[in-house]
Amino acid sequence: MRIRVFETEDQLNKAAALFHGGQLQRKPESVLGLATGSTPVGVYRELVELHVRGLVSFQEAITFNLDEYAGLSKHHPQSYFTYMNQHLYRRVDLRPENIHIPNGEASDLQDECERYDRQLKNAGQIDLQILGLGHNGHIGFNEPDLTLAAGTHLVGLHEDTRKANARFFSSPGEVPALAITMGIAPILQAKTVLLLVRGEDKAAIVSRALAGPITTQCPASLLQTHPNLIVMLDTGAARELV
């Protein structure tokens, strides 16, 4: 585990984007695992800037998103497809056929989970997986539980997760109760995992995830077992690390 702490959000964003860009320069056909939420927004903005400057191309890359809300149209303002399209997809040279994100509108959600797993298997090992960190330790939408699912699955979102995401919706009641999420196996099997966390409100869970016991009650703690985990934090998120 390598931990880097940055004084400002801007420094963190630039460092993460350069790390991501370096992966694409070394291996243009990289399989990239992508995350959503507020934390990666600045990273995607910096990646787009690197692309505009001609330093990074996504033309040969293959992307897989961690998750998508169940029951939302891909064109809903708060779908993760819309998020990715706004912040990355349409701003770089990704080929549409190389973009993968679960279909929250699928008529058979279990079949959709199985289809997504087949796509992941066909693409091979993820080269670089970007992760954020939920207040309860979830990664993707792998929520704390007695056991964790290895493959893509339908998950009922914890109430605290729904409350945390309510700021993106008009009211808390609009936050979907279900989501499709990539399972824990392809995340832990990624060649490199880049965990990005900012904000003092995440300090306690950062400490629990990186220095606490490894337990499915804090899914992010399983990252302690990963052979190539890079952690980028701002000073607020790092506050409780010894």
**Cα separation of 145 and 136, whole Å?**
11
pLDDT digits (tens, 9 = 90+) for 138-170: 999 999 999 999 999 999 887 877 877 777 787
Give the ranges where the chain is alpha helix by DSSP (H): 9-26, 41-52, 80-87, 109-123, 159-165, 184-189, 203-211
Secondary structure (3-state) at 69: strand
Nearest to 132 by CA among 228, 15, 226, 41: 41
Alpha-carbon torsion (195, 106, 151, 209), positive or negative: positive
| Per-residue model confidence as pLDDT tens digits over 217-226 | 999 999 999 9
Query: What is the distance between the alpha carbons of residues 208 and 136, in angstroms, rounded to a whole number?
Result: 10
Residues 162-215: tens digit of each pLDDT: 877 777 787 777 778 899 999 999 999 999 999 999 999 999 999 999 999 999
pLDDT recorded at residue 167: 75
User: With pLDDT > 70 as the criterion, what percentage of the chain qualifies?
Assistant: 100
Predicted confidence at residue 157, as pLDDT, reads: 84
Among 65, 136, 142, 165, the one annotated catalytic: 136
Contact partners, residue 51, CB within 8 Å, separation at least 6: 57, 58, 91, 92, 93
Looking at residue 70, its pLDDT comes to 94
More confident residue, 176 or 135: 135
Q: How far apart are CA 75 and CA 81, in angstroms?
A: 7
- Residue-wise pLDDT for 3-48, tens only, equals 999 999 999 999 999 999 999 999 999 999 999 999 999 999 999 9
Question: Does residue 51 carry a catalytic annotation?
Answer: no
For the question of residue 165 being annotated catalytic, the response is: no
| Measured CA distances, 42 to 30, 49, 107 (Å) | 21, 11, 34
Q: Three-state DSSP class for 75?
A: coil
Q: How far is CA 12 from CA 73, 124, 127, 235, 239, in A?
A: 32, 29, 21, 10, 15
pLDDT, averaged across the chain: 95
Catalytic residue among 51, 65, 67, 117: 67
Tell me whether residue 67 is one of the annotated catalytic residues: yes
Write down all domains in the chain, each with its CATH number in brackets. 2-234 (3.40.50.1360)
What is residue 225's three-state secondary structure? Answer: helix
117 compared with 167, residue with greater pLDDT: 117
Q: Which amino acid is at 106?
A: A
Residue 241's φ and ψ, nearest 5 degrees, are -80, 135
Which listed residue (87, 143, 165, 226) is catalytic?
143
Identify the residue with better confidence: 163 or 59: 59
**Cα 83 off chain centre by:** 12
Q: d(Cα 230, Cα 178) in Å, to the nearest integer?
A: 30
User: In this predicted structure, what is the pLDDT of residue 55?
Assistant: 96
Query: Above pLDDT 90, what percent of the chain?
Result: 88
Q: CA-CA distance, 35 to 236, in Å (whole number)?
A: 21
Would residue 65 show up in a list of annotated catalytic residues for this protein? no
